[in-house]
Amino acid sequence: MESALVLVIGVMVAAGVYLMLAANLLCYLFGLILLSNAANLVIFVAGRLTRAVPPLIPKGQEAPLEPVANALPQAMILTAIVIGFGLLAFTLALVVACYRELGTIDSDHMRLAEPPPKSGEH
């Protein structure tokens, strides 16, 4: 189970990086989404996977009787998803603002904050 998920993570990272290398900011954004979900899956797998043993303590006991699923990585992923969602929403808004103000989402054409190109360059 772990190795299958690891392969999935690998494919997601590869696809994410490929998309992020594009000059188009929207492609970059989609790549970022893939990469951030891959990172969440890394934490998930790091907590070891178990099937159908929820971390519940039976009545009258102080500790679970048998090894149970690790709840901590899931709590961390939840935090990471919330933060990631906020950052993605911000980035999307930024891309929209860029498109409105600069008229392009091709990062190769965003040269406003850079020194003006010399003749011969483009």
Partner 1 sequence: MGWLLALPFLLPIATGLFALGARRKPRRARTISLLGCVGLFVIVVIIFVRVIDEGTIAAQMGNWPAPFGITLVADRLSAIMLLLAGLVGLAVAIFAQADVDLRREVLGFQGFYQLLLAGVCGSFVTGDLFNLYVWFEVMLIASFALLILGGERAQLDGGIKYVALNLVSTLFMLMAIGMVYGLTGTLNLAALHTALAQVEQPAALHMLAVLLIVAFGIKAALFPLYFWLPASYHVPPVAVTAVFAGLLTKVGVYALIRTFTLIFPADFSFAHDLLLIAALLTMLSGVIGAASQYEFRKILAFHIISQIGFLVLGLALFSPLALAGSIFYMVHNIVAKTNLLLISGTARRMTGSFNLAEIGGLYRVSPVLAAVFFIAAFSLAGFPPLSGFWAKLMLVSASLEQAAYWVAAIALITGALTLFSMSKIWSEAFWKPHPTGEARSLTSLTVTERIQRMLPALLLVAITLGLGLFPQPLIQFCETAAKELLDPAGYVATVLPSRGG
Q: How far apart are CA 84 and CA 47, in angstroms?
A: 20
Q: Binding to partner 1 by residue 107, rule CB under 8 A?
A: yes
DSSP result, 25-37: HHHHHHHHHHHHH
Q: Binding to partner 1 by residue 28, rule CB under 8 A?
A: yes
Asked if 107 and 23 touch (Cβ cutoff 8 Å), the reply is yes
| Range in contact with partner 1 (rule: CB under 8 A) among 32-40, 49-57, 60-68 | 32-40
Within 39-68, which residues bind partner 1 (CB under 8 A)? 39-40, 42-48
Angle made by CA atoms 75, 6, 43, in degrees to the nearest 5: 20
Within 63-102, which residues bind partner 1 (CB under 8 A)? 72-73, 76, 79-80, 83, 86-87, 90-91, 94-95, 97-98, 101-102
Q: Amino acid identity of 59?
A: K
Q: Binder to partner 1 among 54, 112, 117, 120 (CB under 8 A)?
A: 112
Residues with Cβ within 8 Å of residue 39, at least 6 apart in sequence: 80
Site of interaction with partner 1 (CB under 8 A): 20, 25, 28, 32, 35-36, 38-40, 42-48, 72-73, 76, 79-80, 83, 86-87, 90-91, 94-95, 97-98, 101-102, 107, 110-114
